[in-house]
Copies of this chain bind each other. A is one copy, B any other.
Amino acid sequence: MLNEKMKALGQNRSKIRDLFEYGKILKQQGETVCDFTLGNPSVKTPDSVTQILIDGLKKSDVHAYTQAQGSAMARQKIASDLNKKGKTTFTENGIALTCGAAASLCGVFKAITSSRTDEIVVLSPFFPEYKVFIESCSSNFKSVEFDNDFSPSFSSLENAITKNTKALVINNPNNPSGKIYTVDEICKITEILNKKSKEFSHPIYLISDEPYREIVFGDAKLPFIPDFYKDTIICYSFSKSLSLPGERIGYIAIPSEISEFIDLYASILGSLRAFGYVCAPSLFQYLIENFNGEYSDFSIYENNLKTLLSTLKNLGFTCNEPKGAFYLMVKAPDGDSEKMSERAKELGLLIVPADSFGAKGWVRIATCVSKETVENSKPLFEKLAKVYNLI
């Protein structure tokens, strides 16, 4: 009688959410838990952002419906900001405000797929909800293997793309690895996409999911993908950059140079309409109209990362070296990440097995936590290292 697929999605929540809920209960019971599960920004929203929101609440029409694609002023602002980054042209007519990155992705996946044979390919490791969103559009999810240091396997990418491939998803900086795809890697990826687009006589879009765009450490630089490939669709969210994850505000942006520009934009708006996204929250559209460029203070994430990396490496764990975002990957010493997460849980350490992220044998540690959590976790990671006879 009910939709069994939807029932299963409602029953089997993500591992991350389950662990997070478990931690919440323990905390309510007064237990000390070091919770590294959720990508919930720990850094506060900038005061200037809060002030814009307070000012907005005093405006008489701030809560009114906007155009379905978002207020023209907010779209102009976004287009102008994107145009400063690169060589392609964005205008308000290629921007759609959305209820966050998940809405952006769902809107795009639905817009470019229509048949059960259609495929969307993603680079591993990947945010597990990609699979949910793609399969919910009745399309096929395919992932590309990674090589050392979470770089994409180009031979795997070449094999993955078929005549049914509508798009490739790249998440830069990457969740869960914190990897930044380099200019060299992006050039190799776009070379393959160009070749395959030509071979199959249709554009293969590159969906650049970049909610962590501003969270980049040290001297790392994030390439602006539309400069390398005109058929790029940007999916963005202000969740991480302004510490507003619960408010659901983001956008989809396509450059004027993209293949089928007008029809693609219409299809995206049609998809958002079909899902019941009437408009993005209007108070937060007002925020974007008036945003002064002050992001959250990301130095805390970098400091947490440094402390955790040095702690874990000293204890003998194998970790990657993230360049951005707020996650860190640790290898399960015996290759069993589920068991590692379970063992950590018994010690009061909540870390997420990353198998469902396409990274078998790794666990993900979210570094968007308080400094205190990082400090408190040190003796617990030491106990975990002892369990594995690393020290």
- A207 proximal to B (CB < 8 A): no
**Which among B60, B277, B283 is the interface contact of A102 at CB below 8 angstroms?**
B277
Q: Number of A residues whose C-beta is below 8 Å from B? A: 80
Are A246 and B66 closer than 8 Å at their CB atoms?
yes
Residues of B within 8 A of A192 (CB): none
If A3-B110, A17-B68 touch, does A10 touch B267 (CB 8 Å cutoff)?
yes
If A6-B270, A248-B99 touch, does A106 touch B276 (CB 8 Å cutoff)?
yes
Residues of B within 8 A of A106 (CB): 274-276
From 106 to 138 in chain A, residues with beta carbon under 8 angstroms from any chain B beta carbon are 106-107, 110-114, 129, 132-133, 136
Are A246 and B57 closer than 8 Å at their CB atoms?
no
Residues of B within 8 A of A260 (CB): 1-2
Say which one of A37-45, A168-176, A336-344 lies at the interface with B. Answer: A37-45
- A102 and B275 CA atoms in complex are apart in Å by 8
Nearest-Cβ distance from residue A27 to partner chain B, whole angstroms: 13
The winner among A40, A112, A278 for most chain B CB atoms within 10 A is: A278
A259-295 vs B: 1/0 string, CB under 8 Å?
A: 0100111111111011111111111110000000000
Nearest-Cβ distance from residue A204 to partner chain B, whole angstroms: 10
A240-260 vs B: 1/0 string, CB under 8 Å?
A: 000111111000000000001
- A105 and B299 CA atoms in complex are apart in Å by 42
- A21 and B166 CA atoms in complex are apart in Å by 33
> Knowing that A1-B203, A10-B267, A100-B276 are A-B contacts, what are 11 other residue pairs whose CB atoms are under 8 Å apart, sorted by A's residue number?
A1-B112, A3-B113, A8-B270, A9-B270, A11-B270, A66-B246, A99-B248, A102-B277, A107-B276, A133-B274, A133-B276
Q: Which residues of A contact B (CB under 8 A)?
A: 1-11, 13, 17, 21, 38, 40, 44-45, 50, 53-54, 57-58, 60, 62-68, 99-100, 102-107, 110-114, 129, 132-133, 136, 166, 202-203, 243-248, 260, 263-271, 273-285
